[in-house]
Amino acid sequence: MGLSEAEARLIAAFARSAATASSMESVVSELFRTLRMMGTVESIELVYPFDYARWDTWRMSGESPSMTRTDEWPTPPKNAMTTFFDPDNRQAGYVSLPGNASKTGYALETLAPIVWTAMSLQTALARVQKASRSETEMVRTTLRARDEERQRIARELHDDLGQSMASLKLSLKWAEDIARKQKGMEPVVDELSESRDAVGVMLGKIRDLSHTLYPKILDTLGLFAAVKEMTLQVSRHSSIQVTCTCKGKPRALDMEIGVALYRCCQESISNVLRHSGASRLAIQVRYSGKDVSLAVEDDGRGFDPRPLYDSGGKRMSSGFWTIRQRMADLGGSFRLSTAEGMGTVVEMTVPYSSNHKNANKRKNKTAHRR
């Protein structure tokens, strides 16, 4: 027995809805609704493999389906009309209807391949989402571990090696003063003085490295003070004119928020120094009622942002991708505005009440110049 025109339209409508269904539950619900519109169907049973050793059994007879998961392949019900997704591999799943209505059975044979395709699509999407979550969590863990390691190394450089170098410098000064009082010790005095100066240079480099790895001022005076100190270092080591301003009243931030924004600012400034050819760099920290934001703007050559991403929207620039990931991890937002010859603006915003439940809810945007 063939299908009527109305039934063919119902099957076509089911195919469209199944292809865009949000879940397996939606596929099962839409299948039940479609079969009920074709004939007297009181219930359905659908079996589909969850993995290689477990199967999900979906049953529906009312408003919503129910699902159970078993380690053994569910045998089709007796006295039921069953259509297997793959006749050569029954464990690929099936759909069963009670009774023996040949007309509904013919429709089920037509619907089964569509159902199988829809369920396979849902399985694939679930695996992709799981892999994406796993990748995100791995990156998040890596960033945290890297920040903690930087903090540990910075502390050791400052407290251990830095203090030892400072002590050595004092000892050399003491020896220099003693030698200066002795006749004929001028060469020794000169050597001690040069050594003391070299130790002083090394001590300065150690302190700069410690500050770069993790600025203690971030813990004591907060984000704006730490960013201000960073801009002073940029001014000392480059010819770029740097300004750093604060809008709103500074407030204490959670350590994760402060570290994330500081690292993102550090990465943005590094990009400016390496690539922009800018003569001016402006950084602003803004404290509002609900969030804190940081903007890094330069007057450099700018660039076309589209090559940052491939056709799948995946990362092409690890620096900007890391910034975006840090912001997403805190439920914040990241915006890159640029165009060739028009400079670049990097804006990052994080809510004070940031937590990982908010992660990925805010949009991260890459745009041409406003």
The verdict on 110 and 228 lying in the same domain is no
Which amino acid, residue 120?
A: S
Model pLDDT, residue 273: 87
Helix (H, G, I), strand (E, B) or coil at 347: strand
Number of domains making up the chain = 2
CATH number at residue 51: 3.30.450.40
The sign of the CA dihedral 358, 363, 365, 370 is negative
Model pLDDT, residue 152: 78
265 CB-near residues (< 8 Å, 6+ apart): 227, 230, 283, 294, 296, 348
The verdict on 223 and 109 lying in the same domain is no
62 found inside a domain? yes
Please say which residue of 133, 168, 198 terminates a domain.
133
Q: Could you say which residues of the chain have pLDDT below 70?
A: 1-2, 40, 100-103, 132, 135-136, 139, 158, 211, 309-318, 354-370
153 found inside a domain? no
List, for residues 315-333, the tens digit of each pLDDT value. Answer: 445 678 788 888 888 889 9
CATH number at residue 273: 3.30.565.10
Convert 135-172 to b/e letters by CB count within 10 Å (16 or more is b).
Answer: eeeebbeebeeebeebbeebeebbeeebeebeeebeeb
Q: Do 365 and 303 contact (CB within 8 A), yes or no?
A: no
Average pLDDT score over the chain: 83
Model pLDDT, residue 103: 60
- The single residue listed with the structure tokens 């994330």 is 260
- The single-letter DSSP state of residue 74 is P
Spatial CA neighbour of 324 closest among 312, 308, 311? 308
Please say which residue of 133, 163, 187 terminates a domain.
133
The verdict on 93 and 220 lying in the same domain is no
The verdict on 111 and 222 lying in the same domain is no
Please give the model's pTM, rounded to 2 decimal places: 0.55
List, for residues 43-72, the tens digit of each pLDDT value. Answer: 889 999 988 788 999 999 888 899 999 998
The sign of the CA dihedral 150, 151, 152, 158 is positive
Q: Do 284 and 294 contact (CB within 8 A), yes or no?
A: yes
Host domain of residue 114? 5-133
Which amino acid, residue 129?
A: Q
The verdict on 113 and 261 lying in the same domain is no
Q: Which two tokens stand for residue 224?
A: 């704006």
